[in-house]
Structures are given as C-alpha cells and as structure tokens.
Structure 1
C-alpha cells in the first residue's frame, strides 16, 4: 500500500499578496526616509539663517557701540561726516560710519579706527570695510544676511526719530538706531542699537570739547547727572 506525497508551497495569489504588502512597506519606508532628509535639511537651513541673523546683530552692535566722532575722506578726497545713514535697500551704502576699537591681532602698522559701510545688494545685506579711514578703496564686501527684501533704518536724537542722519542736527552721532529687516518669506525682524556708548557730546553751551572716555565706560544719559557732580 503506497501513500501519495503532498508538496507544501504557495499559490500564485499568496505570492502576489505578499509582494504587494512588501511593496507597500518599502514605499512607506522610502517616504519616511525622504521626509526625514527634508526635515533635516530644512532644520539645518533654519539654524544657519538664525546664526547669520545673530552674527549680523553682533557685528552691528560692535560697530555702532564703537562709533566715533571722526570724519573721513572718500576715494576722491571729499570730506564725509563721521556718521551717515538713511533708509533703503539700494546698492549705495545706506549706513557709513567710523568705528574705534578695530582689533589688530597681527600688529600691522595701522590705525585702530576703521571705516565701515552697510548696503543691500541682490537681496543680501553686506558689510563693507575699508583698510584706511581716508581715501582708500573698499575691501570686498562680506555677506551677512541673505534673502533680504528690504531694510529700514531710523535714528533717534533728543527723543525724536528720523529716517535720515547726516549730522545736520549739530551732533555727529545719534543716540540710537533701529534696524528693521523684511525677509523674502514675509517675516520681519527689528532690533534697537545704542550708538557711540563711549561718546560724550560737548556741552550744549559750547563751553568745552567732546571727550571720549576709555572703552566700556557708558556715557551719561541726556538729562541725568553723574553722581557727585553737584557741589
């Protein structure tokens, strides 16, 4: 008496169902991996943009805090006020000033004062530095912040704001400056900066010259007296 052998296996329908399930799992894995890569890329780009914005604020803070009452001369020899500013986004520098405290790590034979300018060119906020305060050609611009649609600047003096500063008020430096940056994605950023915190203006009666205390010494706010000044 013989027994027939039974062979175990899969039917064609079972194989097709298995392949379909495997394909769905693979597609889901690819989608998750793609989303993870895109999220990582977007996060990296956002962190880079935040770093650029932080760096821009730090550089502007240092330049404006060290702003000095020192007029300069342009490439043609024309005298330029110590601080010139307006509001706009053209290629022409919208902010130009002379700052002190320029670090000299290499010990080069140069001044510790530096002329700098800011402009927006091609949607990028740029900082332009000059090797010398008077008569020198600018160095290549350094890109600070990209994807900039518009930059607005305002300058504060004696409690009032102005969209332009050229020293016509009789004071070489404003008290403060407001920066307003509109980005291409529609977001807006605002920041206030103190200008020339080591700069003390001359008395309003003209009885004495302006003085510059050591770096880091804050100026006495307008309308306040230094303790012990009364006799």
Structure 2
C-alpha cells in the first residue's frame, strides 16, 4: 500500500524562516562589528602615523641645525636658533635643503615651528636674509594639537624656556651663533594625551661661510635684502 507524500506545514515553514532570520541577523551584527573595528584600527593607525611623522620631520630639521644667523625684513639680526616661550615658537636655520632643480639658492633654509590654532605648522622662507615682503610658506604637519611647550638644554645641563639665554656680559656675536644641546617638545593630543620628546642637536653644528654670512656688525647698504648665493 502506497503512503501519500507529505509537505511542510505552514508552521514548520514559519519556524524555518525565523531560524534563518536569526542566523542572518547574528551574522550581520558580527560582520558590522568586524568592519567597525577595522575602521577604528585604521583611523588609530593613521593618527599614530601622523604623530610619528611630525616628530620625525622636526627631528630631521634639528639634526641639521647650524650656526647661521639671518636678517629679518627690517635688517635686524636674528639668532641661529630663536626659541620664544609665549607663544611657543621655534625658529632656526638648517642645512641640507634639497635642490633637485638646481635653483639659484642656498642649501641653508630658515624654518619656524609654531602652533596655529590647533594645527602644528612648519613654516619656511625661500631666502635666508629676508626682505620686507619675504613671507614664510606654511606646511601643516599635525592637527588637533594643544598646549605646545618647548624647552632648551644649555651646556650646563639646565633647561630653559627661551633661547638664546640671557647672560650678562656675554659676547653678542657668540650669542647669535649659540645653539642648545637639545630641545624638548611637549604637546597634548586628544587620543594619546601628553606627548614629550627630547630631540638632540648636532654636537658639531655646521657653520656659516664667508659667502653666506650676514654682516654681524653694522648695517650696510644691502641690509635686509636676500643674499645672492650660488646654486648648490
């Protein structure tokens, strides 16, 4: 005797659909969580890479700092390294400015690091001894920075909040050429909190040569104009 074939009842179909729906919902939530975690990891990695890059660029600048004072747009001499406390600003002359196009300019470069709003900026001039209209060119290095602080280590091992140090009876020319042994950089980042690095300057910093040096005494008729330096 043949048995009649049976299909699924409506209740069984509804139960199967409910089970598949629960499995699909669980899989979607798991996949969504994995994607969110991956996105957060990538975002954290990018922020960490930007912080590391900012310190690396500043360290590279300071590693090539040299004893080369400059004149500003009003023919006043500025020290080879000038550090101001309020607001925290670091300005100095560095060697090693690449010149792949062979432009008629010096291998020295005047740079300034400062906090503009919440952005850590690196500014540089296209000339060393500046004219009145010589404006720096800004480069944004790191965003979301707060409370930038700078300190300078002198030859006696003392940390100073500004540079050059104010020493009574010191030689003015030597003061223009003097460089600290190291610079301490501190700032606050919203993700990593307070970050502090001590960056060492060269033990034997490069010196200016006669062709590139500004007149350290007196004001000549060409004071305040860019140096004519042969291409390097």
CA distance in 2 between partners of 1:18 and 1:87 (Å): 72
Q: Is the 8 A contact 1:94 1:118 kept in 2?
A: yes
* CA deviation after TM superposition for structure 1 residue 7, in Å: 4.2
Q: Closer, same or farther in 2 for the Cα pair 1:211/1:113, shift >3 Å?
A: closer
Q: Closer, same or farther in 2 for the Cα pair 1:144/1:12, shift >3 Å?
A: same
Corresponding residue of 1:97: 92
Q: Root-mean-square deviation (CA), in Å?
A: 2.4
Query: SS where residue 164 of structure 1 aligns?
Result: coil
Alignment of 1:26-65 (within 5 A): 26-65=24-63
Aligned residues: 197
Corresponding residue of 1:154: 151
TM-score between both structures, scaled by the size of structure 1: 0.75
Offset from partner CA, 1:127-157 (integer Å, 9 cap, x none): 1111111212111x22222221222211111
CA distance in 2 between partners of 1:121 and 1:9 (Å): 75
* Structure 1 residues not aligned, in runs of 5+: 201-209, 213-231
1:114 to 90, 106, 109: 109
> Which of structures 1 and 2 has the larger relative contact order (alpha carbons within 8 angstroms, sep 6+)?
2
Query: SS where residue 98 of structure 2 aligns?
Result: coil
Corresponding residue of 1:199: 205
Q: Is the 8 A contact 2:68 2:208 kept in 1?
A: no
Query: SS where residue 199 of structure 1 aligns?
Result: coil
TM-score between both structures, scaled by the size of structure 2: 0.75
